[in-house]
Structures are given as C-alpha cells and as structure tokens.
Amino acid sequence: MADWSIIYNQWVPKEQTLREALCTLGNGYIATRGAFEETLAEDDLHYPGTYLAGGYNRLTSEVAGKQIENEDLVNWPNWLPVSFRQPGEAWFHISNVEVLDFKQELDMQHGVLRRFVHFRDSKGRESKLNTRRIVSMANPHLAALEWQLTPFNWSGEVELRAALDGRVINSGVARYRALASQHLETLEQGQYDEETLYLVVQTVQSKTRMAQVARTKVYLSGQASGVLPQTKIEQGYTEHVYKLQATEGQPLRLEKSVLLYTSRDWATSEPLQDACANSIRQGTFEESLEEHKRAWQRIWNRCDLDTACNTKVQSALRLHIFHLLQSVSGHTVDLDVGVPARGWHGEAYRGHIFWDELFIFPFLNLHLPAITRELLMYRYRRLNEARSAAKAAGYKGAMFPWQSGSNGREESQVIHLNPQSGRWLPDNTFLQRHISSAVAYNVWHYYQATGDIDFLSYHGAEMLLDIAQFWSTIATINQETGRYEILHVVGPDEYHTEYPDSEEVGLNNNAYTNVMAVWVIQKALQLKEVIGDSRYQELLTKRHISPDHLTRWEDIGKRMYVPFLEDTRIIAQFDGYDQLHEFDWAKYRVKHGEAMRLDRILESEGDSVNKYKASKQADVLMLFYLFSSEELISIFQQLDYDFRPERIPENIAYYEQRTSHGSTLSKIVHAWVLARSDRKRSWTNFETALMSDLEDIQGGTTAEGIHLGAMAGTVDLVQRAYTGLEIRDNVLWLNPVLPDEMPCLNLQLRYRGHWLELKITRDKLIIKFDRGWSKEVKIGVRGEAYTFKTGDQKEFDIRR
C-alpha cells in the first residue's frame, strides 16, 4: 500500500474476487467490480459485476418447498469485455497464459484502475498488456477503458474483440445460488454505427431499463487503425472484432467508452437515444480521464483525512473514503436511493439498506451534507410504507424496515442458508425495530451539523414524530412495575433473536432499543421549540397525534424500563440475559479464530447461540457509542435510574469479554467507547476495523461486497472520536486526544455552511475558518466556546 494507491505486485488467483471488490470503481450512480476485461463469471475466480445504485428487481424462488420472494440488487450487463487472439486460437485469458510479471494498482487519488501483465502463451509468444479504467466521477453515465497490447517477441495477425455482455445473472454470492437469478431480459441490441455497439436490457419485474452504448476505437502504433470491425450479435451479447496486423514492439491500443442510461434517470427522453446521442459527444479516453481526475481532485480537496505520520492508516482511510464516495456521491442526489451496507460492490445482502447509515452519515454530515439530505429523503419518501408496516403490525406512526430496497417494503429474507450445516433456517433479524430510531437519530444529527431548518421542519420533523408515535404505541405498560416495556424485538446483536426453547420469536426489553425509543420521544417533544409551535401543531394534526398521545410520550420519557443484571451495575442486553449460559470462548477460538459466526457454528453442531452470553456485535455498547456520557446519564436520570459515568468502563469490560465481533461494525463501536479510557485497546480495535476489508477479516465476505459501515466508521473515528468532536448547544466542541500511533491529523470539516480546517498535533490545535454562507458559528475547545468569523484562525495549546 502506498499513500494513494493499493498495489498488487503478484497475480494470486485465490485473492482475485477480494481484489475485484476492493478495486471496484463507481461514482454514486453506477459501479463495476475490478474484474479483468477478458474474464466472465465463468468460475469462482472472476465476477465482473456492474451495479446501478438502487437498481433492484424481485424474483420468486422455491426453497425447501416454499415460495420465497427476494428483492436483489441486479447485476447489469458487463461493459468491460475486451480480449485478443491469434486467428484460430483461443481468446486471451489470464488463466491460460504464464504470467511473467504483474502489477495492479488502484489509484485512489485519480480514481483509476491500472493493470500491467507480461505473459507468455503456450507457443512461447510473450506480450505486455497495459490497461486503465475509469467510472467517471465527472459524468455519471460514462465508463471508459484503455487496453493496450504490445507483442514482445512476435509479429502476426491478431483479432481484437470488444463486447457488451448482457447474458449475466446474479451469481456473485454462493449462498444465494439456489435462488432465482435471471433478472434481465434483452430488449434491443446491435450496431449503431461502425464504432458503436448497443444493448438494451430490462429487469423482468421492476421493469427498469438500461441502455449501454459502447464506442470503440483501435490504434496501431499510435495511429487510428482504420480497420472496420465485424459485428457478432447473439441473444444478450454484441461484439465487434477487429482483424489487425501486430508488429513486435508496436503497441496495439483500444479505447472503449461506454454510456449507460436508465429509465430511472432524470433529464432524459429514452435511455438508448440518450446513450447514443451522448456517445457521439464523448472525447478520447485521455480527455475523459482528465475531467474525471479533476472531479476527484475537488472531492479530495474537501474530504481527505491527512494522517501523513502513519502511512498504513493513511492509505486505509483513503481507501475507505474512496469507496464511500464511490457508493454515494454528488451524483446520488435526486436518484432516490439509500446507502447500501455492502456498497454497490457485490451482491451480499442484496444491496439492501440497513441501520449501517448510523455509521456512515457522520462523515457525510461534516463533509457533503447534500448527500446525507438525499439519503434521508430516501427514507422520507418511504414513510408511507413505514406507516403501513406499523399499522399492519398493530401500531401507529412509522416502522421502518430492517432491510430496505426499492419502495421501502421490508426486504429481510425470511429464511437463510447456513453454509456450515447446509440447512435453510428462519431469519428473524427483521425484528430489529431499532432501525427506526437510527433514522430519527440521523435526522437529528444531520440538522445539528447543518442547521438545515427547512429540511427539519418540512421532512425531518414528520419522520421524528411518526417514529416517536411508533415507539409510543409498541411500548406497553407493565402494571406490576409501572414501567413501559418493549416486547418481542431483536436488538443489534443478531445472535439473539429468541429465548432458548421458546416458541415465540423476539426478546423483551432490549436495553438499546428501549433507551433509543426514549431518546426519540424526547427529541420529538423538543422539536416544538426548534421548528416553532405553528409548524409543530400543523404536523401533529397531519399525523393525528393528539394531546393524549403527547401526554403518553412524556410519561414514557420518564418511565421506560431498562434492564440491569441482578445485583450489578451492568445494563442487561435484554430481559433474561442473566439466565443464559456463559460461553466457552477459549475452546471455540482455538478452532475458529476471533471473528466467529457463532450462530452458524453452533447451529451446525445442533446447538443454538441463543442459549449463550455471546454477542455477535456491540449492543448495549451502542449506547456509549451514540451518546456522550452526559447525554446518556441525563436520559437515565429522567428515567429515574441511578446510572453513573464511572459504570461505563465496567459495562464495556463485561460485554467486551462476551462479543465475537461477527459484524465488522462491532470493532468500530469498541474502538470508539475505549477512545478515552483505554487508548491502547481503542487503537487495536481501530486497527482491526481498518483492516476489515483490506485483509478480509471475516474470511471471504469482502469479495461479496465491502463493509461500508465499517469503512465509514473508521473514518468517523478519526474525524470525531480522536478529535473529541461533538455538537452540543449550538457549539461545535473539540477536544483532541490523538492516539500515540497517529500523532498528527489535518482535515477539513463543513459545519453549518462553513468550511473549517483543523491541523492537530499532540500539542497544538489550529482552527482556520474559511468563508461560509451562514452566520458566524461557535467552536468550543476544551470547555471554552469561541466565535469564529470568515477568515479567522486560532491556535490552541492542547498539551495534556
């Protein structure tokens, strides 16, 4: 790894699908895995997936005698194919040659994927192949590649082909392969002019249409070859083949630029027409590359985290920012899509949207809030569906789905395959009702970072009120204790979905869920002061929220139940947690390592993880992650619980010993909650989170899609946890304590319409306040608030 690049110096077939995911190029509209141009999804080594942000389709499959409908992120036609052959011989494929030298580089600064291969074929002919590829950040509809072959010790006739391949299915995730996978049908295909091929496909159920138009130009020794291609058209596949004379040492270069348009675009007439019209307007590869580089330059100018004093951290952080902004970017605005847990980088979790937004939004809020706003609008536009879901379950307000896709319906799978046992099992993780609180939390924190009162009063407030109303109606009063409870839900820890040997699904009083519900209700009540009485009343009337409802909210805000372990000061993950068995971690770690999927392991042994005090991920600790200790203590005080800050470390230690980190989100939370109390342990957790995808620590999952929550979470740890950034009482507070391993940090932040620059070392904090568009703002350093105006710069001594 270099500062700005991920470099692979060897061809290692078994790492290829992982590298493909890590080398995915995207622009917030479309993404293509880093597969080689000559490969198809022909074996488990290569999977050239192309995904459209929000491009879903539903199919019904028969599994274990049941009809199951799933909504998948569709794998669209492969626009990459390019290869060559000597007449009568097989097409070049990396697996069929002897690789003499190899280098692949993901250049994150410029958003370019490069490959160099020096190879020898079975007849002793050696060639050098250089490729470069972009998915344009300047024009979201454009993807382009340059492919150059130089004969090293031979001359002769060659055939060069460039194609569009729509014969693809969804087969990127082995576990889903028994399910229906044919999402596309071909509508139109052919040759538009001598340089141009087109292919139009449509999803069979959602009827989303995509047109791809590929323009190819071939150059011999730097000059346009003038050779006209032969066209081959098969169902779903169009190809141009150029017959050329290759000369030893003389490069044979092909440029392919592909325009992708869909029926979901705005400012469009018809996808094929628009793709063709724009294809003609395209310049050379070099010209497209220049525009693309400039677009990345603008992004990096604002979004880089410069930690030059630790290069390993530096490049991993850049990789994470890079993939985050390839998944959601300025081009995502107005697309009506959410941010997928696994990026648009593979088919894992079917491209669905989860609560991972909680980990993703903070970076965007403080850099590119227009994107957060859009992602919140994705939720707002699905409010009606969330209301219907609440109603169908017997509640009021809005109940957002645990997994969301096209229209906001619950997309969680009802059964899942345990690859370890081969059994299909019921999946009750959809009972994670806490997702709605994540939406509310994100609305509030977007507002805190931006001061966007228009959004809050128009859209955000309605979501907050509806979510509060949901919590108020799902909560029931326990007549014996006089406290409110939330029953039959699942918390963030997905290993616990029911009580051992119980017929019912769900658990009672997940502490995280209950506390979050209280927080949402309190914020929904506070909203009145923020958006004003008249708008508040307007919304209450609109949402049929009566004064009696508000009285109940207030009551819940004081009398929600939070479970504690008997005789201890530890918050219980849920009611009855103390009845569970301790788990023999040592025994299982020997065989299965650290990040164990205990649910799968134990089920395959005929046991159940539900029986044990063993969590997949941070659950109770989420409270210390999302709230400052002051905020949390104040919630507990209002609930009349005596919970003190000094108990937080005990709680952390208790759950740390009982967590397998089977979700990459978990290490983020652990790194965060330890950031001040145990900096060494915080750092080790941070380092593991940082390497989650680069080193594929979950053993094979990254190849199916990156973990965007963990990626964004690490960036946010640096941005907020290690800088002590917190927005409270209209002040942006900073209290930096940099880890010893990362003694310097430079970054920019966008706060309430202003850009500010922070330069932090162990001793010094410099805040430079750039021009902004809102009024002056207050920035607090170690307890004291200062007013900053355009052009101000202040320096603080932060020695401990």
User: Closest Cα to residue 607, out of 579, 578, 573, 583?
Assistant: 583
Categorise residue 127: left if φ over 0, alpha if ψ from -120 to 50, beta otherwise.
Answer: beta
Cβ proximity to ligand BGC, 22 vs 712, nearer residue: 712
Show the DSSP H helices in 366-430 as ranges.
369-380, 383-392
For ligand BGC, the closer of residues 441 and 484 by Cβ is 441
Nearer to ligand BGC, 347 or 356 (CB): 356
Look at strands 66-73 and 793-797 and give their pairing: unpaired
**Whole-number CA gyration radius for the chain:** 27
How many whole angstroms separate alpha carbon 378 and alpha carbon 557?
29
CB of 671 to ligand BGC, least distance (A): 16
The distance of closest approach from Cβ of residue 493 to ligand BGC in the complex, given in angstroms and rounded to an integer, is 8
Report the candidate in 766, 770, 768 with the shortest Cα–Cα distance to residue 753: 770
Helices (H) and strands (E) in the chain, counts: 21, 32
The edge-to-edge listing of strands for the beta sheet with 777-781 is 726-728, 731-734, 777-781, 784-788
Sign of CA dihedral 88, 93, 95, 97: positive
| CA–CA distances in Å: residue 49 to residues 176, 184, 208, 502 | 15, 14, 17, 42
Residue 731 CA to residue 99 CA, distance in Å, equals 58
- Least separation in angstroms between CB 619 and ligand BGC: 10
User: Applying CB under 6 A, which residues contact ligand BGC?
Assistant: 341, 349, 354-356, 492, 494, 616-617, 663, 665, 709
Residues 639, 643: Cα–Cα separation, whole Å: 10
Nearer to ligand BGC, 356 or 696 (CB): 356
Distance CA 252, CA 254 (A): 7
DSSP for residue 570: P
Name the E strands within 155-208: 156-165, 184-193, 196-203
Residue 726, Cβ density class (10 Å: 0-12 exposed, 13-18 middle, ≥19 buried): middle
**Least CB distance to ligand BGC at residue 595 (A):** 11
Cα–Cα distance measured from residue 327 to residue 29, given in angstroms and rounded to the nearest whole number:
8
Instruction: For the beta carbon of residue 530, count every other beta carbon within 10 angstroms.
Output: 16
Q: For ligand BGC, which is the closer residue by CB, 304 or 493? A: 493
Cβ 663 to ligand BGC shortest distance, Å? 4
Nearer to ligand BGC, 349 or 643 (CB): 349
| Residue with Cβ nearer ligand BGC (672 or 788) | 672
Per-residue tokens: 431: 């009972």
β-bridge pairing 237-246 and 726-728: unpaired
Question: Can you tell me whether residue 211 is helix, strand or coil?
Answer: strand
Q: How far is the CB of 25 from ligand BGC (least distance, A)?
A: 22
Cα 491 to Cα 654: distance, rounded to the nearest angstrom: 17
Instruction: Indicate the residue among 271 and 408 with the shorter CB distance to ligand BGC.
Output: 408
| Shortest CB 475 distance to ligand BGC, Å | 23
Give every CB contact of residue 441 below 8 A, 6+ residues apart in sequence: 358, 516, 519, 520, 626
Q: How far is the CB of 403 from ligand BGC (least distance, A)?
A: 8
Contact (Cβ atoms closer than 8 angstroms) between residue 709 and residue 356: yes
- According to DSSP, the β-strands at 56-63 and 50-52 are unpaired
Task: Using the minimum distance from each CB to ligand BGC, give the nearer residue, 348 or 524.
Answer: 348
Q: How far is the CB of 616 from ligand BGC (least distance, A)?
A: 6
Closer CB to ligand BGC, residue 405 or residue 492? Answer: 492
Instruction: Say which DSSP state 156 is in.
Output: E
Sign of the torsion formed by the C-alpha atoms of 661, 667, 669 and 673 = positive
CB closer to ligand BGC out of 450 and 617: 617
Total residue count of the chain as it appears in this document: 800
Q: Is 330 helix (H, G, I), strand (E, B) or coil?
A: helix
> Which one of the listed residues 239, 494, 656, 704 is annotated catalytic?
494
Q: Can you read off the two tokens belonging to residue 274?
A: 């628009």
**φ/ψ of residue 189, rounded to 5:** -160, 160
Q: How far is the CB of 355 from ligand BGC (least distance, A)?
A: 5
CA distance 293 to 315: 18
Distance, CA of 556 to chain centre: 34
Minimal distance, residue 492 CB to ligand BGC, in Å: 6
Would residue 105 show up in a list of annotated catalytic residues for this protein? no
Measured distance CA(668)–CA(194) in Å, rounded: 53
Output the CA–CA distances (angstroms, integers) from residue 173 to 94, 631, 704, 749, in the order listed.
23, 42, 6, 38
Side by side, the strands of the sheet bearing 25-26 are: 25-26, 30-32, 50-52
- Of 111 and 351, which CB lies nearer to ligand BGC in the complex structure? 351
Among residues 438 and 767, whose Cβ is nearest to ligand BGC? 438
Question: What's the min distance (Å) between Cβ of 641 and ligand BGC?
Answer: 26
Torsion 62-68-72-76 (CA) sign: positive
Question: Least distance from C-beta 402 to ligand BGC, angstroms?
Answer: 8
Chain-centre distance for alpha carbon 740? 29
What tokens does 244 get? 């050329």
Catalytic residues: 494
